[in-house]
A and B are shown apart, each in its own frame.
Chain A
Amino acid sequence: AEPDRSSRNSRLRSFYQQGQVESDAASVGLNVDPCDIDGAGFDPEVYLSKLLQEQPLTSLMAKEQQMVDQIRQLDSDMQTLVYDNYSKFISATDTIRKMKSDFHRMEQEMNNLAESVSAMSQQAADVRQHVGGKRAELKRLAGVSALLHKLQYLLDLPARLTELRREGAHQQAIRAWQQADRVLSRYADLPSFRPIRADCLAIMAELRAQLWKRFNEGGSGTESGGEGGSGGGAPDARQLAELVDLLGQLGESEADLSAAFLRQADPRMQRLLGDLEAQAGSLQDDVLQFVDQGCNHLVSELCILIAVFGDIFPSPESRAKLEAYHESVMRSYLAIVSKRFCLEARESGGTGDSLLVRACDRFHRKLQAMHRLVTEGELSVRALAVVCDAAAERAGAVRAQLDLRLTAALSGLRSQLATAGARSVSLPQLMAGLLTELVDAVKAALAGLQAFLATDVSFSLKPAFRERFCVRAVRQELLAGFLNHQATQCARLAQLSPTPPPLLLLLLSRYCLDFRNSSLHYLCTLADEQFLVPESPQAEALVTPVSELSAVYSDSAAELLQAYVCASGGTLAGMLRKSVDARDWLQGIEPRSVRAVVKRVVEDLAGIDASVSSLYDEAPSGGGGRGGGDRSSDSSASRLARRPLTAASRSQWSATPSTLGNSLLHRLFSDKVDLLGPAEFGRASVVSGVVRLALKTLLECVRLKTFGRYGLQQVQVDCHYLHAFLWRYVSDDSVVHFLLEEILASAAHRCIDPVSMEQSVVELIVERD
């Protein structure tokens, strides 16, 4: 332990050398005690020797122990110190190292700072240099900014506008805005004005929207005003005008405004039109009421609209737009009215005339009044056209009724003829009844339509109406049309298959003739007078002339008569044909009597003659050979009267078959007889037509048969019988002669044993029958 201690001491000493030296040097002069163990001048040898010399052993021993303890103490103290110092030293070196690095960084920053500062100072120098040049401008700007407070107004503008808008002082708001807007828009590029302007614009947009809204509400205001009474529209109109003015100041174009104006008026118009249209489809409401409603609501509204519009929008373009709109509404309206009138005209019964006329009159007046307001568009002309259409429709409806009446009358007549026997009805009476009925019906129809021409009716004197209604609708389409229809309708029966009852044909034939003779002129003249049809070439061009109608009736009558001849003759011919076909002419007994069918034919012919003579006299031209008086007066008594056996008739005809040569000679020297020519309007002509048809058929049937002797003789008897009784029915004996001769000749020719009966025997047999 001793060497360690000494080495440690020496190291410590060497460590503290400098200090020791200094302290040595300082303590040199001091009293050094070599035995002070803790003093600097301690000398262990001395100390030790002293101790050894002075101290006993025990104390020495104690001393040594004490010294060892102290050394040990010191050793540990020293160790602790060394550690402490050492750690301090380490921390100190650490700190120093850290400081060293910190200082390095700091140095860098300091360098940067120095650079920045120098740059700043440089810039500052520059700025100072520049600012020094613009000092005057800055001063001017300061002056402008001094003016700015005068424009404080502008800054307040949005608020003020809002205020004004809220108060409803639109006019002031707009004026304020318009003044400000000049400035604002001039300085619009300045950022400070922008928000103001934007605010103002927003406010004005709101204002505009508000005005539009009010404008649109103004329309509904008109509506409410309209319902309250026509006077209510005016203030609204003023408001509307104001609004339009304001909106116009706000830069809305007149075109937009007028379009909007019409647009906002349109729904109401459409609603009114819709209402009217709904009414037009039915007859529920009175037609007068319909017209009133149309006039009071729609037309009035339209007038107000037109007036207001004209006030507000005076420019020609707007006017054109208004006209277009007005035109469209009026077109719809006129169409609806026309529809309603036509419906009324069609559907209403006989009583409808006066009501319709009054409705038409009212309508016409109203639109004429409106025409004064709206000069364009020829409103009154179109209104008149609507009235004309209605009147013409009415005439058409009357015509349709007449047609129905005719059909009913014809079918009634037909059933009357079918149920009652031919003999039991009086044909002239039936015909007169038909004539009276239909003429009266036409007269009644004409009289009813005269309501349209009453003097107090506003349109009755208009030439256009007269031309359309009186000439075309009544005179031509109603009267001439019906008359023509009647004739063709009758004639149609003649072509019908199966043929209608012959009596109907006969009756209608005479009816057509009578109508032509008596009623046709009368009705046409009546219509001309009642409806003041002018005698102008224009009117005549529109009207079917009476002569043409008359011709149609004549044709129909002729056709019907021809059909009657064919039907009646066909009936007789059928009887004869069947009888000839059924009989065996070859075998058979000598004739004792006239065949029943021949008698039957003569009887039927008497019936036909009676029917015909009840309607037709002798030939109208008076060309008939025999006077008609004795025959037409009493047909039944003389029905079976025989031909008077005068010498002349005997010599003319004998019931002996002439030879073929004779027949050829007859043909050669007589004019070619038109056997089946058309019947004329005369009893004799009609009946002889029937007779000729029957005889011609008999001839043809005979030619298809082959006869024995008695067959021929039977034909001889039949022919004689026919000759004896037919003379009175025919206009021209020669045709009957010719046909009977032909029959006999053909029978003789078709006979295998042609032996004819004695003329006297034939006469006897006929006499007996």
Chain B
Amino acid sequence: IKSEIKMDIDDPPVIYGLETQARALCSVPALDDSQQFIIGTQGLRVEHNQLHLLTFDADTNSVSKRIFDHGRDEIWSVSVAPHNPNLCATVFNRVTMDSGTNPSVAKRWCLWKLPEEEDNQTPRHRNSSEDALTSSSLSSVESLQSIGSIELEQQGEPRCLAFHPERAEAVLVSDGGLYQLGLGSGAVRLLAHLPAKDGRSQLRYWHAAWNPHHSAQQVIAACDSGGLRGFDVRCPPSDGPVVVIDNAHNGQARCVDYNPNKQYYLASSGDDGAIRFWDTRQPSNPVKMLRLHKHWACCVQFNPYHDQLVLSGGTDAKVYLTNNRSISSEPVLSLDDDLDDDDDDDDRRQQQPELDEDRTVSVVEEHEDSVYAAVWCATDPWLFASLSYDGRLVISHVPKSEKYRILL
């Protein structure tokens, strides 16, 4: 494992490198409000795949890490429970060799408990440029404690696991549909199965997100047909979806995320490279569309605090941070503007057109391979991380100018 820090004069992004490929990235809602991310390695033929729990130190602009062993199973997806930062789930690929000649590969998932940090251990390793080479040897690899996984009917290939934002529940996204799981009292049990059927035709879900509003009773999934399907978990599965957005994307829909501050609004990304914003009450037309990515847009996420900031990453190795003020929960005009004359207001807008217009705030150019995951820090609204396939994690800041513009 090699890590490096790239220092820039102004607002430098921090780069952390893995030796293997990686797709799995998740922000950790740490209890002490430290800025943590967890990434998983994807090494098919590697003896030890690992989960890296990275803690960003804003003062020194550096990263310290804890490493957990994940065995031979390559990690495709990782997620951390919002209500319990020690509970994490991975979706992984397990290769089994039948008598050495006939290999078989199976996608599986498992819930893990991250071990508590031991006090007597040496302090977290600081990854600075000086000890970059030695850090890997110093770091000790901890082991994960498996909480368990259950075998599900018609499971197919699992894709990812979406924890419920409040309750001890989760939804497993897999080929066979959505599986609502109860995680309470130390055991995993199946609560409901929402089959991935659309009338006659079989769908394949790729990603799912909980609706954080109304005590999170709805979950929406992105399909490989390009559509979105939303379900209400209070309804019996036979009722079918409550939200149907067909052809949200030309090609596969890759990611979906609910606006945390504005009800009914969500964003989706897909293989057509577009980010589309939807109002679930009017699913026929998107509220807004961004065409920034030149190839697949793999992930999209609203900032958990300032929902006008939207992060998206794509296979064109770009991460875009956009400000979509016009469709955000931010009021269109501040109170002062309301009091002014219209003419005055227009003048001001003409003078500072960039202030209210939707725009691309910044582009993360540090990646050289496809970016499959980009997430906001769960505890800091001005920090985000993106992971490219070549194992490069870039922790970036929202530009200060933008930050002050939003805050002030």
Point out the residue from A577, A700, A753 that lies within 8 Å of B103, measured CB to CB. Answer: A753
Set of chain B residues within 8 Å of A570, measured between Cβ atoms? 250-251, 272
Q: Could you pull out 22 A-B pairs where Cβ atoms are within 8 angstroms?
A: A570-B250, A570-B251, A570-B272, A573-B271, A577-B251, A577-B252, A586-B103, A587-B102, A664-B390, A676-B316, A693-B295, A697-B271, A697-B295, A700-B296, A700-B315, A700-B370, A706-B93, A708-B103, A750-B44, A751-B44, A752-B44, A753-B103
Asked whether any CB of chain B lies closer than 8 Å to the CB of A485, the reply is no
Q: Known contacts A586-B104, A675-B316, A752-B95: does B45 contact A703 (CB below 8 Å)? A: no
A706 to B21 alpha-carbon distance, docked (Å)? 14
A676 to B44 alpha-carbon distance, docked (Å)? 29
Interface centre among B102, B315, B368, by most chain A C-beta atoms within 10 angstroms, is B315
List which A450-508 residues lie within 8 A (CB) of chain B: 497-499
List which B299-317 residues lie within 8 A (CB) of chain A: 315-316
Q: How far is the CB of A724 from chain B (nearest CB, A)?
A: 25
Q: Are B250 and A700 in contact (CB under 8 A)?
A: no
Point out the residue from A667, A693, A750 that lies within 8 Å of B368, measured CB to CB. Answer: A667
Set of chain B residues within 8 Å of A720, measured between Cβ atoms? none
Interface centre among A497, A566, A574, A587, by most chain B C-beta atoms within 10 angstroms, is A497
Point out the residue from B45, B95, B295, B389 that lies within 8 Å of A696, measured CB to CB. Answer: B295
Q: Known contacts A586-B103, A706-B105, A750-B44: does B251 contact A574 (CB below 8 Å)? A: yes
Closest residue on chain A to residue B247 by CB atoms: A498
Asked whether any CB of chain B lies closer than 8 Å to the CB of A749, the reply is yes
Q: How far is the CB of A59 from chain B (nearest CB, A)?
A: 170
A676 to B105 alpha-carbon distance, docked (Å)? 33
Asked whether any CB of chain A lies closer than 8 Å to the CB of B294, the reply is yes
List which B379-407 residues lie within 8 A (CB) of chain A: 389-390
Q: How many residues of A contact B (CB 8 A)?
A: 29
Q: Are B44 and A749 in contact (CB under 8 A)?
A: yes
A676 to B247 alpha-carbon distance, docked (Å)? 24
Sample of 13 further A-B pairs with CB below 8 A, known A675-B316, A706-B93: A498-B247, A566-B272, A570-B250, A570-B272, A573-B251, A577-B271, A586-B103, A676-B294, A676-B295, A697-B296, A700-B296, A700-B315, A706-B95
In order of increasing CB-CB distance, the 9 nearest A-B pairs are A676-B294, A706-B105, A700-B315, A752-B103, A752-B95, A696-B295, A667-B368, A586-B105, A676-B316
Point out the residue from A574, A700, A708, A751 that lies within 8 Å of B295, measured CB to CB. Answer: A700
A749 to B295 alpha-carbon distance, docked (Å)? 22
Q: Are A672 and B368 in contact (CB under 8 A)?
A: yes
Set of chain B residues within 8 Å of A693, measured between Cβ atoms? 295
Point out the residue from B105, B250, B272, B370 that lies within 8 Å of A752, measured CB to CB. Answer: B105
Closest residue on chain B to residue A675 by CB atoms: B316
Residue-by-residue, is A691-727 near B (CB-CB < 8 Å gives 1, otherwise 0)?
A: 0010011001001001010000000000000000000
A752 to B97 alpha-carbon distance, docked (Å)? 10
A703 to B134 alpha-carbon distance, docked (Å)? 31
Q: How far is the CB of A444 from chain B (nearest CB, A)?
A: 38
Set of chain A residues within 8 Å of B103, measured between Cβ atoms? 586, 708, 752-753
Set of chain B residues within 8 Å of A664, measured between Cβ atoms? 390
Set of chain B residues within 8 Å of A675, measured between Cβ atoms? 294-295, 316
Q: How far is the CB of B203 from chain A (nearest CB, A)?
A: 13
Q: How far is the CB of A754 from chain B (nearest CB, A)?
A: 8
Point out the residue from B45, B250, B296, B370 that lies within 8 Å of A497, measured CB to CB. Answer: B250
List which B275-296 residues lie within 8 A (CB) of chain A: 294-296
A753 to B104 alpha-carbon distance, docked (Å)? 12
A696 to B103 alpha-carbon distance, docked (Å)? 28
Set of chain B residues within 8 Å of A749, measured between Cβ atoms? 21, 44
Closest residue on chain A to residue B224 by CB atoms: A581
Q: How far is the CB of B313 from chain A (nearest CB, A)?
A: 13
Q: How far is the CB of B337 from chain A (nearest CB, A)?
A: 31
A693 to B251 alpha-carbon distance, docked (Å)? 14
Set of chain A residues within 8 Å of B295, measured between Cβ atoms? 675-676, 693, 696-697, 700
Q: How far is the CB of B333 from chain A (nearest CB, A)?
A: 29
A195 to B40 alpha-carbon distance, docked (Å)? 125
Set of chain A residues within 8 Å of B271, measured between Cβ atoms? 573, 577, 697
Set of chain B residues within 8 Å of A586, measured between Cβ atoms? 103-105
Q: How far is the CB of A744 from chain B (nearest CB, A)?
A: 15
A32 to B45 alpha-carbon distance, docked (Å)? 220
Set of chain B residues within 8 Å of A700, measured between Cβ atoms? 295-296, 315, 370
A703 to B104 alpha-carbon distance, docked (Å)? 17
Q: Are B315 and A696 in contact (CB under 8 A)?
A: yes
Set of chain B residues within 8 Å of A499, measured between Cβ atoms? 250
